[in-house]
Chain A
Amino acid sequence: MFNMIRGDFYRLKHSKGFYITEFILIALVLSSVLTGTLGTIGARSDSIEEFQQAGGAWNAVKATKLMTSMCSFLIYLILPLFIMTTGFEFSRRSYKNPLSSGMTRLNYYLSKYSVFIVIVLLQVILYYGTVYVVTGIKNGFGIFTLNFGIKMAQAILLQLLLLLAIFSVSILVLFITFSTISAVVTTIIFPLLVNILHMIFIKVAWLKYFDFQGTIDSAYFTHLSTQNLEFYILAACGTIVVCGLLSTYIFNQKNL
């Protein structure tokens, strides 16, 4: 597992795609925090609007809070790295190299998943790190209270979990179809599909817990009851576990 992480990060380090993706991430963050504007993929909640309009320049703390509502952009900035480290393995069938030299299929899956977790972590750290440092240098760092620290940590952990849940579905599709395109399309379509289903079947309350993308963006500003939070976490963990078990089962059965 550790060897795969070392190997795949060596591969990323020598890939132009990695630097282009990271450049886009930093450029996106800079364009938002330097102009003081937010872009979102879904609907924006009123509480964000109110908070944004509540006077004063964006200092590091304020910007970090506000930028939680743009975090779902990371889905599209994790996607290229996911394709580079895992997708290409399947589309070019280079999984044969490790599998034919003593790596079990379960170990291969877990290794690739651990690489993916590290990628998600790094992207989240780079995202919030850039926001905090750049706005801090430009407009000051603001007051970092304990309450803010705890709430941010909770929001970021929830966002991490939801990002992993979204990509668990993509990984499952990749392990079933061996098609990078199908995995990419799933990553983009799945959150939209859940949204559409939720709008159509408005009475089916539990569907909202699978709106991972929407929840990522509202993780800081939506005040969730403990029970609601538990349901969101359960839905994400359930998706990760079910997709993981299905992926490994299907991968184990396949003639490669």
Chain B
Amino acid sequence: MEEVLKIDQVAKQFGRQTVLNDVNITLHRGDIYGLIGRNGAGKTTILKSIIKLIQPTKGTITLFGVTKGSNYIHQLRRTGSIIESPVAVDQLTARQNLIYYSKIHGVVDSNAVDDTLKFVGLDTTGKKKFKDFSLGMKQKMGLAIALLNKPDFLILDEPINGLDPIAIVEFRELLLKLNRTQQMTILISSHILDELYQLATRFGILNNGTIVKEITKQEFEEQSREFIKLEVDNPDLATNVLRKIGCSNFKVINDHRINIYQLDIANAKIASSLIENQVQLSTITREGLNLEQYFKQLIDGMGGEQDV
């Protein structure tokens, strides 16, 4: 599959402060990569380095197979981005802003402006000027400007911050539509991890300028899948009882704990069977990790994967 972006051992220092430290990320065509990190972790610095608003101190960034020089800048024509906050001309309407940027970008497709406005849902804003737009509308405007020259790769920095729940869903659906219909590659950073989970196919967790974990959505789901946690006095006896009631998918974690991954047996039935067979049951709960908990555990260094 075509490699869209390869970040190789990239580091960035501002004075004595190291903001990025040997970051490696690879994106293939059609990926939706979620960049997760706390404030100041280096997310925006990575995104700015890709679009050359910042020059890395060390390392290489390869975009569509090109690493440096004017060819790299040329490849940026295949990207669209919203970095930090969406910006457009305050005094112009949505349509006028797109006409303005289409002139600057030299967009020749006469339908591009109307098609893009319709796609992002700003085709009915009429004479309302950008300065009077709500935050959600401004984000859509930023997306429209980014999409104007039909990019293959979209870079979005915290695009759903401050949006209301309906605007978040609309924005997510727009991005998924772009990914599904045009195989658009998307690199997105966000604090809203539940939302990012619904969008991304891969995640990179950034802490203090270092990618501390890369995980696919599938791997995450396997590691964080729901299970029933049992705490018992006699795991050997308990496993025999579980087998008798038709439960085969479980794992003995330690001397007291068993995780059951077969969720079609009611907790009440498990509990009563164990008690009837003289197993002392101290805990029976249904557990699982969402992305936020996973991120927190990883960053806090409180067990991470082992506890999942």
Contacts and interface: CB of A to CB of B under 8 A. Distances in A.
A10 B54 CA distance: 30
A11 B48 contact: no
B53 A99 contact: yes
Interface stretch (A101-109, A123-131, A163-171): A101-109
Interface string A55-69: 000000000000000
Contact of A3 (B53, B105, B145): B105
Contact of A97 (B70, B73, B87, B151): B87
Interface majority SS (helix, strand, loop, mixed), chain B: mixed
Interface residues of A, number: 25
Given A100-B76, A256-B53, A10 B103 contact: yes
A87 B106 CA distance: 22
Contacts of B52: 99-100
Interface stretch (A88-96, A188-196, A207-215): A88-96
Contacts, number: 83
A93 B53 CA distance: 12
Contact of A96 (B53, B70, B149): B53
Interface string B63-101: 000000010011111011101100111111000100111
A96 B80 contact: no
Contacts of A88: 89-90
A223 interface: no
Nearest to A9: B103
Given A3-B106, A96-B83, A14 B48 contact: no
Contact of A256 (B54, B80, B104, B145): B54
A100 B103 contact: no
A16 interface: yes
A9 to B, nearest CB: 9
B77 A97 contact: no
B87 A94 contact: yes
A3 B108 CA distance: 11
Interface in A102-160: 102-104
A94 B53 contact: no
Contacts of A17: 91
Question: Which among A4, A6, A94, A100 has the highest number of chain B CB atoms within 10 Å?
Answer: A100
Given A3-B104, A255-B14, A100 B77 contact: no
Given A14-B96, A16-B91, A104-B70, A98 B51 contact: no
B19 to A, nearest CB: 10
Contact of A101 (B79, B88, B90): B79
Contacts of A7: 100-101, 103-104
Contacts of A182: none
A15 interface: yes
A11 B91 CA distance: 9
A102 B73 contact: yes
Contacts of B53: 96, 99-100, 255-256
16 contacts: A3-B103, A6-B103, A7-B104, A10-B96, A10-B100, A11-B92, A92-B87, A93-B84, A93-B87, A94-B89, A96-B84, A101-B76, A101-B77, A101-B79, A102-B75, A256-B48
Closest 6 pairs between A and B when the two form their complex, measured CB to CB: A102-B77, A7-B103, A7-B104, A100-B51, A256-B53, A94-B87
Given A102-B74, A102-B76, 8 more contacts: A3-B103, A3-B104, A3-B106, A17-B91, A96-B84, A96-B87, A100-B53, A101-B79
Interface of B: 14, 48, 51-55, 70, 73-77, 79-81, 83-84, 87-92, 96, 99-101, 103-106, 145-146, 149, 151, 155
